[in-house]
Amino acid sequence: MESLKSKINLERLPKHVAIIMDGNGRWAKKHGKPRVFGHRNGVKSVREVTECAAELGIDYLTLYAFSTENWSRPQKEVEALMLLLVQTLHNEISTLNKNNIKLQAIGDLEKLPGKTRKALLSGIELTKDNTRMTLVLALNYSAKWEILEATKKVAENVKNGSLGLEDINEDVFSNALSTKNIPDPELLIRTSGETRLSNFLLWQLAYAEFYFTAEFWPDFKKESFYQAILDYQNRERRFGKTSEQLVT
């Protein structure tokens, strides 16, 4: 494992990695267990990948923990996931503090169950002064919802005269999103063999590199993360330019 890590160029790390953690249910089924067993083991991967990202020196790690669409899962599974979140937050806040990691959240947090919201807000408050890495949890998150909310904010400012129509630009819009002050992810990882974006960070991922792996999320550990970073570093990021322009 050390050899994979040693191949990583620490000068060319993505500042922000976003992950769609997928495949907990199928992993559990493969092991003949209920879906929640998969989610519990998914938390182990969350812990390991968070630690690994901080160790490498990545500034932001965003994890898609619960989408707005996930409410349509069986009620028992939703309840178990919300409880798991509360438990994980309670268990892990001291580790986050020990590792100097700040917790943040994006999504429609108002609609989360009271206990989950409370645990989340308390975690955010207790880690707010940490500086090594920011762990962003996307909870009850939907990119289309986020874009509509930002549009309403910008429109409101135009309506009340504090912003001119001609002053709307990418920066103004980015600052109206829940990810304001967070740089766009350079790398998106999705596990479990699915190759969809599933309503995740549609605006912010405009220039990101996508990395898909067949591994289910509970199997995605340090080595898998190093592999994803190495794959990213082997790509040429052109931002619309030609290869020749990049050399000069």
Terminal-residue alpha carbon distance, the chain: 36
Binding mask 155-194 for ligand FPP (x = CB under 6 A): -------------------------------------x--
| 83 touches ligand FPP by CB under 6 A | no
- Residue 107 contacts ligand FPP per CB under 6 A: no
The nearest distance, CB 233 to ligand FPP, in angstroms, is 26
Task: Say if residues 130 and 97 touch (Cβ distance below 8 Å).
Answer: yes
Q: Among residues 16, 18, 24, 101, which is the contact residue for ligand FPP, using CB under 6 A?
A: 24
* The one segment of 23-31, 122-130, 145-153, 234-242 that binds ligand FPP by CB under 6 A: 23-31
Q: Mark whether 91 is an active-site residue.
A: no
Query: What b/e string do you get for 156-185 counting C-beta neighbours within 10 Å, with b at 16 or more?
Result: ebeeeeebeeeebeeeebbebbbbeebebb
The answer to whether residue 137 forms part of the interface with ligand FPP (CB under 6 A) is yes
Min separation Cβ 124 and ligand FPP, Å:
13
Tell me if 63 contacts ligand FPP by CB under 6 A. yes
Q: Taking CB under 6 A as the rule, does residue 43 contact ligand FPP?
A: yes
CA–CA separation, 53 vs 133, rounded Å?
A: 8
* Contact stretch for ligand FPP (CB under 6 A) within 11-19, 35-43, 152-160, 226-234: 35-43
| Residue 83: CB minimum distance to ligand FPP, A | 10
Residue nearest to ligand FPP (CB): 25
Choose between 41 and 150: whose C-beta lies nearer to ligand FPP. Answer: 41
22 sits near ligand FPP (criterion: CB under 6 A)? yes
Task: Candidates 38-46, 157-165, 200-208, 232-240: pick the segment binding ligand FPP (CB under 6 A).
Answer: 38-46
97 is catalytic: no
| Contacting residues toward ligand FPP, per CB under 6 A | 21-26, 39, 42-43, 46, 63, 65, 70, 84-85, 88, 137, 192
> What are the catalytic residues?
22, 70
